[in-house]
Amino acid sequence: MIRSLIVAVFGLGLTACQPVSGEGGGEDVARVGGDTVPATYDWSFVAHGGSADLDFGDGDWAEGVSLFHMSCLPDSQVVRASWDGGSEAVLTSGTATGTFRREVDAAADHPVFAALREGNALAVGMDDADLTLAAKAPGRAQIKAFFDYCTHPLPPPPEPVVAAATEPVPPPLEGDDQPDDLSGVKPVEPGVDVVQPDRAAHEPVDR
């Protein structure tokens, strides 16, 4: 995604950032130097290639605009944040605040990130511009999904399905493939009982 702060969109020298109330009176739109960030901007989470990204922007991870970016590895317990501008920024969410360095690992359970997970806006204070990024309902779910990814191991892959072994069928014995010779057997007429002869009656008797 193009890592471009709103500074690049509205020009340099922006110094003030204030939230704008949405239709319901909530702070759901960021404002920078008098210019309103598009109302469609929100947080979006995507996992790919074993890592995860969280961006505040237009939601187009591949070619879109991101005002603020975070990334992590699964169960790493750390988060890296990046933005356009200075190498340091003061991040504030709720009552928590801290100074963070760009592209440097920070604890995923930092109070600022904990407050962000609770649904608070994230204020980004920099030398040349400030941002206040407030999540909508879908964005709050994306934030939680991202930090869950950063602080929990991935589920194990499914077990491979192994086909049950089958016993080999023995080859037919020699002559088994020939049909039985039934030429001397007469068919039994319907209604006629077949009586087996008494073998003893036909055995020779010694005299």
How does pLDDT run across 177-197, given as a tens digit for each residue?
Answer: 566 666 666 666 666 565 555
Query: What's the rounded mean pLDDT across residues 8-36?
Result: 40
Name the least confident of 18-27, 111-120, 128-137, 165-174. Answer: 18-27
Q: What is the pLDDT of residue 194?
A: 57
In angstroms, what CA-CA distances link 47 with 61, 68, 101, 160, 207? 11, 17, 23, 23, 103
Tokens of 42: 């929100």
Q: What is the pLDDT of residue 3?
A: 46
Using pLDDT thresholds of 50, 70 and 90, give the confidence band for residue 160. Answer: confident
Using pLDDT thresholds of 50, 70 and 90, give the confidence band for residue 88. Answer: very high
3-state secondary structure of 125: strand
Q: What is the pLDDT of residue 48?
A: 87
Q: What is the pLDDT of residue 184?
A: 63
Name the least confident of 31-35, 52-56, 84-88, 172-176. Answer: 31-35
- Whether 35 has a pLDDT exceeding 80, the answer reads no
Q: What's the CA dihedral at 118, 110, 104, 156 to 10 degrees?
A: -70
In angstroms, what CA-CA distances link 64 with 6, 31, 38, 161? 12, 19, 13, 40
- Whether 5 has a pLDDT exceeding 50, the answer reads no
DSSP 164: P
Query: What's the rounded mean pLDDT across residues 128-142?
Result: 90
Q: What is the pLDDT of residue 123?
A: 93
Higher pLDDT, 23 or 51: 51
